[in-house]
Homo-oligomer: A and B are copies of this chain.
Amino acid sequence: MRKTLRRTSRRRCSYARVFAALGDETRLTLVAKLAKGQPSSISQLTEGSQLTRQAITKHLRVLEDARIVRSVRAGRESRFAFDPEPIAEVKDYLDFVSEQWDETLARLKSFVES
């Protein structure tokens, strides 16, 4: 029930945005870092990357537009934190697609058997 509510609350356009945000290795790495650890500043998130701080910032904005992360200004640094909701939503959507496929398979199977 919760699942259905969550699924229908978003449109395909919005799912596409979230998927697109996840469709980049650098951003997947950022998401992994943030899901695994504390909220972090841009400088912290840039450490260990080959990219410039500005590049990382742009990636973070993409993730923020998709609501996958939130940013809060804290003094001179802006801390980014993971938000699990959009990912939960696209997971539900993928479940929905998989279910549709299972039903399709069942239909094809019963068609063959008849």
Interface residues of A (CB under 8 A from B): 12-13, 15-25, 28-29, 31-32, 35-38, 82, 84, 87-88, 90-91, 94-95, 97-98, 100-101, 104, 108
Interface of A is mostly: helix
Q: Which chain B residues border A35 with CB–CB below 8 Å?
A: 97-98, 100-101, 104
In the assembly, what is the distance between CA of A31 and CA of B104, in Å? 13
Q: Which chain B residues border A17 with CB–CB below 8 Å?
A: 23
| Distance (whole angstroms) from the CB of A55 to the closest CB of chain B | 16
In the assembly, what is the distance between CA of A97 and CA of B90, in Å? 13
In the assembly, what is the distance between CA of A32 and CA of B13, in Å? 13
| Distance (whole angstroms) from the CB of A106 to the closest CB of chain B | 13
